[in-house]
Every structure is written in structure tokens, then in C-alpha cells.
């Protein structure tokens, strides 16, 4: 039970003495009992809120549970067809592992629940990694996410996060709008979902850069799954590669800049801001006249306001006039409660350079 300094009852929370966040609220209703039935009901309700997205025919893949945004702190569950991949990142979530697994496998059409609780954040909760099958049969080796007519390979056991970045669904639609006829550079391309869309929508040329050879191999597979020519898939460090392209005076009409999280806390914001500025400075220099830059930050500690200031600073040095023509956010299955704005971690800008 959580009480105020005045002794008033505020609700119930999971307590973790190992974490910098000592208590994570499960409910602000003092009379509610947090038990097996409560936890299972939270999961069922969260999944029901996504039923419209999954029944609309555009996709069979969505985030079913989004941690505090769904009243289940530390629990993330992503669905790919009949397979659910979950991450439990807090002590409170870890406590309810079996209940959560039962609730997830009980959802209609679910055959597999697999755990990928191997994020570094578990160490800050005093927890070790947990990876493996929780319920049902082993995930299919050829599991794919279907989205807007595209097919993307999902690496449940070895991919980033839960195997695919569902949070960039709206961004993939945006890429499709800007790609036709453009020379496209996709940096931090991972498994090439943006490249697949750009290729299918008629990009003039494609260069994808990522530091992971296995990720690029999956990108090639995604090209085959969608019967598109992926262009050049180049393995290398993003900063080094961008500098090399700049030194060779290459230009692109559409640049996609989606780096991994660069700031895990406010204490890392200054260093992260410098990195974001360097990346966007290089990208702006590579833009052809009239070129478009789609740039993102997935660092929750960085607000949209700060990110915009950092990118604006990056555009000053090359003396380019760059205009914001759109903003990108996480999709509807990654909701942001008004009482918990910290859930808004993904932010993006659509920029056009003179």
C-alpha cells in the first residue's frame, strides 16, 4: 500500500528495493485488491482495446500490453499472428509471470507465449535475464508479421526487443508516401522494413546501412518475402558511413534516420544530444535540394521540444533552410495516458530542405 506524507492511502504498488523507482503503481483505487484475477483482467482489457486494429484486416500484429499505459507496469506483450512475445522488466511484473502467461495464452487464437525478458533494464531491478517458452508450442521459425500488404520476418528468439519494431507502423506508411522516384538512404536500417516499403513504392535507388550483418541478412530475406529489390545492403558504423558519403559528395532525396535509444535517463541527455546533432548534421549535408529527412528519437528522456531544438541546431552549420512538414509518433497500440506522459518515448520529424 502507498500512503502520502499525510497518511492518506493512495493505492497499491509493486515495491523494489533494488530499483531507483522504488514503487510502481498498479492501481490508485485503495479498495481494489491486486491479485491473480486483477492482473489477468488488466491483460484481457488491454488486449480488447486493440481488437479493432487486429480485426480491421490491415495487420495481424500489434502491441497488446504497453506497461504503465495499460495499468500493468513493466509488462510488454506483442502479438504476431498466433504468437505473443512478452517482456517483463520490473520486479512487480516478474512476480506475476505465471498469471500473465496464463492470461496471454487464454486470448483468442493464441498458440504460443514466449518470453524475451533479456533487456538491460532488468539489471537495475536486481533481476537476471529470462528467455524461453512460457506457454504453448515453440514459435515458428518462419514467423512473419503481416502489415498493410507487406510481410516482415519476426525473429522471436534473437531479434531486438520482441522480434520486430511494431512502434514504427505509422512511420512505414509515411515512408511509402515519400519514397516514389527518390534516391533513398536508410541509416540504422536493422532488418530493412523501411527499405521494403520504399522499394515497393518505386524508389529510384536504395542504400541501407546497419552495423549488424545478421540484421542485414534478415533484410535481404524481407526483400524476398515481399518480392522487391532491396538495393545495396551495407554493413558498417553509421557515423563512419555517413561521413564517407559526405566526403564523396553523394546526395539523396530521402534519408531515414532511426537510431537506437541514445539516452536511458536524463543524466545521459547531454551526450545523446550531441550524438543526435552529429547524425542529423551529416544527414542534412547529404540531402539533395528538395530532399526529405525523416528523423527519430526513441529515447524517452528526450522530449519532442528538445529533439526539435537539437535537429534545428544540426541544420544551422550547413546553412540549409529546413522546414518541418510533419511529425511522427508511436501508433495507437502504444497509447500515452494523460496522467503518464512518460509513455510517449517515440518522436519523429519530417523535414524538407531547400
User: Of 346, 236, 352, 211, whose CA–CA distance to 284 is shortest?
Assistant: 352
Q: How far apart are CA 59 and CA 61, in angstroms?
A: 5
Residues in the chain: 354
Q: Is 298 designated active site? A: yes
Q: How far apart are CA 65 and CA 78, in angstroms?
A: 7
Please state the φ and ψ torsions of residue 76, each to the nearest 5 degrees. -125, 130
* Residue 104 grid cell: 496471454
Catalytic residue among 85, 175, 298, 328: 298
Long-range contacts of 243-246 (CB under 8 A, 24+ apart): 243/282, 245/185, 245/282, 245/286, 246/282, 246/285, 246/286
User: CB neighbours of 275 closer than 8 A, spacing ≥ 6?
Assistant: 259, 262
Q: How far apart are CA 299 and CA 168, in angstroms?
A: 14
Each residue of 136-165: b (16+ CB within 10 Å) or e?
beebeeebbbebeebebbbbbeebeebbbb
Count of other CB atoms within 10 angstroms of residue 239: 14
CA 243 to chain centre: 26
DSSP 59: B
Residues involved in catalysis = 298
Amino acid at each position: 500500500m502507498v500512503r502520502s506524507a499525510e497518511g492518506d492511502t493512495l493505492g497499491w504498488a509493486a515495491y523494489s528495493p533494488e530499483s531507483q523507482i522504488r514503487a510502481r503503481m498498479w492501481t490508485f483505487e485503495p479498495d481494489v485488491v491486486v491479485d491473480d484475477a486483477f492482473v489477468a483482467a488488466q491483460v484481457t482489457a488491454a488486449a480488447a482495446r486493440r481488437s479493432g486494429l487486429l480485426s480491421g484486416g490491415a495487420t495481424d500484429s500489434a502491441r497488446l500490453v504497453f506497461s504503465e499505459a495499460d495499468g500493468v507496469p513493466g509488462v510488454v506483450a506483442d502479438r504476431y499472428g498466433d504468437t505473443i512475445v512478452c517482456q517483463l522488466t520490473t520486479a512487480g511484473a516478474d512476480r506475476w509471470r505465471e498469471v500473465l502467461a496464463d492470461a496471454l495464452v487464454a486470448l483468442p487464437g493464441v498458440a504460443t507465449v514466449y518470453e524475451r525478458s533479456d533487456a538491460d533494464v532488468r539489471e537495475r531491478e536486481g533481476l537476471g535475464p529470462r528467455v524461453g517458452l512460457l506457454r504453448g508450442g515453440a514459435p515458428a521459425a518462419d514467423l512473419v508479421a503481416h502489415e498493410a500488404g507487406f510481410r516482415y520476418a519476426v525473429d522471436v528468439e534473437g531479434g531486438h526487443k520482441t522480434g520486430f519494431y511494431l512502434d514504427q507502423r505509422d512511420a512505414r506508411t509515411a515512408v511509402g508516401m515519400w519514397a516514389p522516384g527518390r534516391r533513398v538512404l536508410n541509416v540504422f536500417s536493422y532488418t530493412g522494413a523501411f527499405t521494403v516499403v520504399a522499394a515497393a513504392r518505386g524508389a529510384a535507388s536504395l542504400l541501407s546501412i546497419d552495423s549488424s550483418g545478421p540484421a542485414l541478412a534478415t533484410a535481404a530475406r524481407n526483400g524476398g518475402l515481399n518480392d522487391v529489390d532491396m538495393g545495396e545492403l551495407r554493413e558498417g558504423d553509421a557515423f563512419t558511413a555517413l561521413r564517407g558519403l559526405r566526403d564523396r559528395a553523394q546526395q539523396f532525396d530521402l534519408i531515414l534516420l532511426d537510431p537506437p535509444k541514445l539516452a536511458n535517463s536524463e543524466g545521459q541527455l547531454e551526450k545523446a544530444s550531441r550524438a543526435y546533432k552529429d547524425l542529423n548534421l551529416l544527414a542534412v549535408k547529404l540531402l539533395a535540394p528538395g530532399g526529405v529527412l525523416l528523423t527519430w528519437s526513441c529515447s524517452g528522456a528526450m522530449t519532442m521540444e528538445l529533439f526539435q531544438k537539437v535537429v534545428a541546431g544540426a541544420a544551422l552549420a550547413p546553412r540549409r533552410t529546413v522546414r518541418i512538414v510533419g511529425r511522427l509518433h508511436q501508433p495507437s497500440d502504444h497509447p500515452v495516458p494523460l496522467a503518464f506522459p512518460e509513455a510517449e518515448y517515440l518522436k519523429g520529424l519530417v523535414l524538407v530542405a531547400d
